[in-house]
A and B are shown apart, each in its own frame.
Chain A
Amino acid sequence: MDKHLRELLAGYVDGELSDEERQEFEAALVTDPELRRELDEFKKLKEVTGLMTYADLPEEVWENYWHSLYRKLERGFGWIFLSLGAIILLFFGGLTALYEIYIDPEVTLWVKAGLATLILGVVTLLVSFIRERLFAYNRERYREVKR
């Protein structure tokens, strides 16, 4: 079956064809038993799905919907502030602590070297993670879908 007839078949089942298209399809239907079989199949499918409806949620869930959503909205802001505060404190606190450790003559060279290696490891992992995310983002199929 050619592409045009397939499109017409879908449109015929859904009543989406113009008069001209409908006549064209019905003419093809007379000479093509396979087309007739597919039409019957689609009509049956449409009939079955027409009997169905989505299961609803209990009324009390709908009544509390907004309150539940509002809480999520507030908590979202809470998490943003908390994360920002934690990042600032960790960054500046970490820098200050590192500075204090490295200028302290009582801290042995081994501890300083261990600490430096640890920081290097964290930075490497962070860079690798960011690169992976960027790679995945660039290959995301639905990135261009406008939301």
Chain B
Amino acid sequence: MDIKKEKETMETDISLVMDIKTGNKQALGRLVERHKKLAYQIALGLVGNRDDAFDISQEAFLRVYRSAKTYDESQPFLPWFYRIVVNLSRTWLKRRTRQRKRMVDVDDNAYLLVDTHDPEQDLIKAEMISCLNRALLELPFEDREIVMLQHFRGMSYDEIAGILNIPRGTVMSRLYYARKKLAKLMERSNNG
């Protein structure tokens, strides 16, 4: 999340939520257009399945509509929205664990893709993606969450601290441990 962009859009996001509070569905539509891909990507990073990420992103907007009255307009919109998506993803994973299907569907093994176009290294990259996919999904939820926010959303520590409601120092130490676990899991995945 880009702070400058967030500041530019904050007013409009907030005014849209204020309109949603009055039951304005068109305002919800405009908010959806702004943030639908963001919601999908956060959910995808946490649950690792495209179909479920899509459903979670939609459920998040329904929550915004239903919970708009609890939104504190003195606060920026995006951290609030992030927390909704993160909590829904956590609930979804818990449900999956209860159903003894903790891992993602085996068919959906391509939720991460290489962002470059270098055919010479395609094979190496394919192997790396495979390792990273497996390692990320084995990572505990709290670790995956912070890795997703920093590595894949490119958020600053202050932004992460705001979203997760933790001190900056905790962001740093949580990132340290999450990376240690991820590196270990990747190594294991590589050897196995």
Residues of chain A whose beta carbon lies under 8 Å from any beta carbon of chain B? 3, 6-11, 13-14, 16, 38, 41-42, 44-46, 48-57, 61-62, 65-66, 68-70, 72-73, 76, 142, 145-147
Could you tell me if A52 and B152 are in contact, using CB atoms closer than 8 angstroms?
A: yes
8 additional contacts, CB 8 Å, given A48-B128, A145-B87? A3-B173, A10-B172, A42-B183, A45-B183, A52-B132, A54-B44, A55-B111, A65-B58
Q: List 6 A-B contacts (CB under 8 A).
A: A10-B172, A51-B115, A54-B112, A55-B111, A62-B36, A70-B25
Residue of B nearest to A11 (CB): B172
B129: CB under 8 A from chain A?
A: yes
Main secondary structure of the interface of B (DSSP, over half): helix
Q: Which one of A46, A68, A142, A146 contacts B151 once the chains associate, using CB atoms below 8 Å?
A: A46
Could you tell me if A147 and B152 are in contact, using CB atoms closer than 8 angstroms?
A: no
B50: CB under 8 A from chain A?
A: yes
Q: Which one of B36, B62, B112, B157 contacts A14 once the chains associate, using CB atoms below 8 Å?
A: B157
Q: How near does chain B come to A73, taking the closest CB pair, in angstroms?
A: 6
Docked complex: B137-173 residues within 8 A CB-CB of A: 147, 150-152, 156-157, 165, 169, 172-173
**CB-CB < 8 A to A66: which residues of B?**
29, 32-33, 36
Could you tell me if B173 and A65 are in contact, using CB atoms closer than 8 angstroms?
A: no
Q: For the complex, what is the distance from the CA of A6 to the CA of B177, rounded to whole Å?
A: 9
Q: How near does chain A come to B97, taking the closest CB pair, in angstroms?
A: 14
